[in-house]
A = this chain, B = another copy of it.
Amino acid sequence: MGEKEEVKLLGVWYSPYAIRPKIALRLKSVDYDYVEENLFGSKSELLLKSNPVHKKVPVLLHNNKPIVESLNIVEYIDETWNSSAPSILPSHPYDRALARFWSDFVDNKWFPALRMAAITKSEDAKAKAMEEVEEGLLQLEDAFVSISKGKPFFGGEAIGFMDICFGSFVVLLKAREKFKAEKLLDESKTPSLCKWADRFLSDETVKNVAPEIEKVAEFLQELEVRAQSAASRS
């Protein structure tokens, strides 16, 4: 595409959503500039201009054209650098539909339940949300067994679309395990997902871009302390 190719990614280091384009860009061997945003300070003008609707990271700027929403960015990367590496989405339309379905399930059903469990003050709502999270993990265990067909990843022999989507939350789950008395990925309930999660975190591409679990755990703890002290002031 000539010498003028400019690729820039706006993200924050701890965001599961920002990990996704990082993995995809690395899978496709695309060089890019990374800009760390500060969501606790004021958002950069570039972020506000590039994503005026949601004002969120990640944003990919390709030759100054903004692409937003993490999975949308991953599809864009897959379609744009389509000769650089194997396809991130499966090649058959039915398998693509399955990958999109389960990714949508993770982002719009499973993770919202986990977030609700983390932020609600009501013990009842928390218990109900955690039930949904655990039920969702059982459904994802079945999906993994059926989609991977005995291979290491949702994508088969290598990391694919659904691995990137769900895998981006594995760091968060492991970090929560470190500072909470919870074990969401439980070998007795979701044995295949547990093995998949370890394989995902050990993958060379992922290791190079995922934040350290220890650091994310400290950050989550800090957030909780901040939220509690804000609540005690109000």
A67 in complex: contacting residue of B62, B75, B97, CB < 8 Å: B97
Chain A interface secondary structure, helix, strand, loop or mixed? helix
> Which residues, 99 to 157 on A, are CB-close (under 8 Å) to B?
100-101, 104-105, 108, 139
A72 near B101 with CB under 8 A, answer yes
Least CB distance, A99 to chain B, in whole angstroms: 10
Contact (A101, B65) CB under 8 Å given A76-B93, A94-B76, A96-B76: no
B94 near A75 with CB under 8 A, answer no
B65 near A94 with CB under 8 A, answer yes
User: Is residue A181 contacting chain B, with contact meaning CB distance below 8 A?
Assistant: no
**In the complex, which residues of chain B have a beta carbon less than 8 angstroms from the beta carbon of A76?**
93-94, 96-97
Each complex incorporates copies of this chain amounting to: 2
Closest 5 interchain pairs by CB? Answer: A79-B93, A76-B97, A80-B93, A67-B97, A72-B100
User: Is residue A53 contacting chain B, with contact meaning CB distance below 8 A?
Assistant: yes
Residue of B nearest to A82 (CB): B93
Least CB distance, A84 to chain B, in whole angstroms: 13
Known: A67-B94, A67-B97, A72-B101. 11 other contacts (CB 8 A): A53-B139, A69-B104, A72-B100, A72-B104, A73-B97, A75-B93, A75-B96, A76-B93, A76-B94, A76-B96, A108-B108
Least CB distance, A144 to chain B, in whole angstroms: 14
Instruction: State A69–B100 Cα separation when bound (angstroms).
Output: 10
Residue of B nearest to A78 (CB): B93
CB pairs A–B below 8 angstroms (20 shown): A53-B139, A65-B94, A67-B97, A67-B101, A68-B101, A69-B100, A69-B101, A72-B97, A72-B100, A72-B101, A72-B104, A75-B93, A75-B96, A75-B97, A75-B100, A76-B94, A76-B96, A79-B93, A79-B96, A80-B93
Instruction: State A130–B77 Cα separation when bound (angstroms).
Output: 36
Instruction: State A62–B94 Cα separation when bound (angstroms).
Output: 9
Least CB distance, A131 to chain B, in whole angstroms: 16
Residue of B nearest to A68 (CB): B101
**In the complex, which residues of chain B have a beta carbon less than 8 angstroms from the beta carbon of A139?**
53
Instruction: State A73–B79 Cα separation when bound (angstroms).
Output: 19
